[in-house]
Structure 1
């Protein structure tokens, strides 16, 4: 029994030393990433597929019960946990949860700008409060686009239109 107590105290001491060495920013970033993964895993289960029998062949098809709209485009964003020359960075993930591709995806984005270059083929401001995703091209079902931007505050981003 004393031997078990010794091992427990040694293990507990190692945990405390490890926890002290982890930066709080890294911990928050890891929690954020885990939450994103959990939410995206949940979204993947929302795809309703059914088998459609055509003649003798059975092929996978999409259920007609699912209506796709701009609400099928999900956006998640938050602090990345890092900075660019002291400016906070944010990560954005845009996911198509529709059972088919969506194109012409536009976001309300205020006067979006970034101290870090954002690939304009992924996300760009066309005019005040109008940003285009994926250069207007179709975003396939289940795919996620992501980018990071740097500014002093998090821009509120919301889907205004999409063609699915």
Structure 2
């Protein structure tokens, strides 16, 4: 069965195309990240054509401002663990810290849950704004086959073809 893309996918692809911490980018993988950016931008452009709306460019000026502000807010969401590629040493230290380590882990768990809820609320807000931008096309779905027929690559680049640690 072929995959279909909807409004939520349009939003996710838009966010990934910004190359600002959303999507499957790797710190230190310049070549892979460049290929991933091309994938996101090409897919975003194709979906925007189908939805007849360039996100953040078309639509009511006031709502566009709120859209950009919501995107910036979403991209700023993080936890104390954000950015750690390997937290093995930290986890060992927390384990060794006993009760205080347990408190840190419990608080971290709550932060992670709230962060996930916050991200989802931002995506819900973006979805509502995108409905206003796309109008009658808001409920459109686009098949992967249709996008491929336009020459759009619907599969992100395979990490195995890249050195993910080239910048280290």
Return the TM-score normalized by structure 1: 0.26
| More strand, by proportion | 1
Larger RCO, structures 1/2 (Cα 8 Å, 6+ apart): 2
| More helix, by proportion | 2
For the pair shown, which has the larger CA radius of gyration, 1 or 2?
Answer: 1
